[in-house]
Structure 1
Amino acid sequence: MPKDIDPEARLRDIADATVRVARASGAHAVTIRAVARELGGSTTLVTNYLPSRAALILNVLDRASARWRADYEHIAAGLSPLQRFEALVAGEPDPDETEAVLRALILEIVANADVEATLRDALRRESEAFREALRRTAAEAGFADADLAADLGYLLLRGAYFANAEDPTRWATRRTREVALAALRALPRTPRAPR
């Protein structure tokens, strides 16, 4: 009789193996075959749960996104409206080995979004949801133009991914946070905006 397998545990294992493959060989090396090899099994070990390379990447990023959201919700609970907005813009985790891989996988999605509909649609959904969260928190923080604050915050954060990939020494997370927050703090806020 086959052993019962917890699908959530298997998806977590696949995500961990995907990160290991990307860390060792680069995001471009993430394939079903490479991840299955990393898990010590055949490709069906992966395809029974995730049918494509795009699904492999999205499995990793969906898990990371859920972790980032939970971390933000925990942090944001005790903050003022302005601090919540700033935490949303600058509150991504400090980079470590896994965060560097996640950024590379995000760039892989961007690079392939025009040829892989699944990646393009996921990127669009995530981008729209993040921009709406920025707009909502910018309005709560009292920015005179919440749409502009959201757009600027979005562009600064997404641009930081590319700047970091180009020159990680100059554009380390700490520096990109400082630049983003300085730019956003220069935007006008309504006279009675909450601090």
Structure 2
Amino acid sequence: MLSAGLPPIGALAQTTTVGQLKAMAMVSGAPVPDKGKDESPKLKHWDGSSPLTIGQMSEMQRKKLAEDFLARHGFTMQEPAIVAAAPAKEQAPPAPAHLLSFVAIYGPRALPSVDLTLNGTFMTSKVGARVQTGNLAILIKPAEMDGTVHVEIPERLPHGCTAKTAKRKACRPIEPVSTVMRVGEALELPR
């Protein structure tokens, strides 16, 4: 039995839900412009003291029609901004010099062995042998005194040069080197 003055229970539930939805949809604050709409184009001032001729109207209409046609097809009559030229590439610094040093000379006097480092890389070789790295060839010969070796490096082209480019000033051959070295001494050789 329902009382005549009260609405049915289902109606109360619906009014509460509708009231809650209305409360959630309420927004306060300044109106936000719709970003989907294009703003009207800015109008230019026309000086009314000079009369508008039919030729001027025709030219304005032609420009407007051309702009509208191009805009519909994804083009514009405005020229793109000129981009500044990219800065010139900086030249890479020259390659560092080869660094040769002898760590130890040991073994029989007739044919000793040598431990050396070339550009930080440890190597072992026999006296009389040739050590080759890139364009650098090192010939290790026995020396007159104990604890020393005679190092010969033949003439070679600088790093990055070939026989075809040898005529350029930067690709002139590097002078040969002939020196006696002791253990612990270091020798810098241009690349």
TM, length-normalised to structure 2: 0.19
**Going by fraction, where is strand more abundant, 1 or 2?**
2
Tell me which of the two structures has the higher relative contact order, counting C-alpha pairs closer than 8 angstroms and 6 or more residues apart: 1
Q: Which is helix-richer, 1 or 2?
A: 1
**TM-score between the two structures when normalised by the length of structure 1:** 0.19
| Structure whose CA Rg is larger | 2
